Amino acid sequence: MTPKIRDAFVQGMSRAVQTVTVVTTDGVAGRAGLTLSTMVSVSADGDHPTLLICVKHTAQAAPRIIGNGVFCVNMLRGDQIQIADVFAGRFAEQFADKFAVAEWELMPLGTPRLLDPLADFECELIQNLRIGTHHIFVGAVQSVYLPPQGPALIYADRAYAKLADTDPALFSAEAATQSGSTSKSS
């Protein structure tokens, strides 16, 4: 791969809007957590819904997720930037224990979940694939915590933002048709 293509790829991907999450794990391999913006639904069907996350292989959490076999995806609200920053390692000197930045509760499989997230998904690790510098972890969702909805914390153009307008009616098929912008999926 040429540096030109890599740099263009990184620049292009920085323009993608992502929901910010803190992924946590705990168990025999130890407790760990990190901030991610790579979380995707794989399927809502089958024995359990599935989702995937991508974690850099050098991250402290990667071998702990593998060793524990479980992880929790904590979707952050728009007012939880400090939590995202701490778990991204930006305040390592002030927070030797990242988990001290917020209040946590254990999910049924023992993973730490935020007390007040946008949503939490506790997963059993069912597949681990290493591609280049990252692990792709696929998890079977075992439990979901849904508190009252709020605005999501998002990340785009290398900066955080709060999704200001979360009115589901704005994203309905009827609203899209009325505005003249319809989309088709294949």
Hey, what are 131's tokens? 């591609």
- Which superfamily does CATH assign the domain made up of 3-46+72-120+145-178 to? Electron Transport, Fmn-binding Protein; Chain A (2.30.110.10)
74-128 residue pLDDT tens:
999 999 999 999 999 999 889 999 999 999 999 999 999 999 999 999 999 999 9
Q: For residue 166, give both structure tokens.
A: 């979360």
Q: What is the mean pLDDT of residues 154-167?
A: 76
Give the lowest-confidence range in 39-48, 61-70, 104-113, 150-159: 150-159
pLDDT band at 183 (very low <50, low <70, confident <90, very high): very low
Task: Indicate the residue type of 1.
Answer: M
Q: What is the pLDDT of residue 61?
A: 97
* Proportion of the chain above pLDDT 90, given as a percent: 65
Residue 152: pLDDT above 70? yes
Per-residue confidence (pLDDT) for residue 33, from 0 to 100: 97
- Would you say residue 45 has pLDDT above 60? yes
Rounded to whole angstroms, the Cα distance separating 74 from 125 reads 16
pLDDT of residue 162: 84
Give the per-residue pLDDT at 129: 97
Alpha carbon of 50 to those of 89, 121, 153: distances in Å? 28, 10, 22
Confidence (pLDDT) at 168: 52
In this prediction, residue 76 carries a pLDDT of 96
pLDDT (average), residues 69-74: 98
- The rounded distance, in Å, linking the Cα atoms of 91 and 109 is 29
**pLDDT tens digits, 126-145:** 999 999 999 999 999 999 99
Helix, strand counts (H, E) of the chain: 4, 12
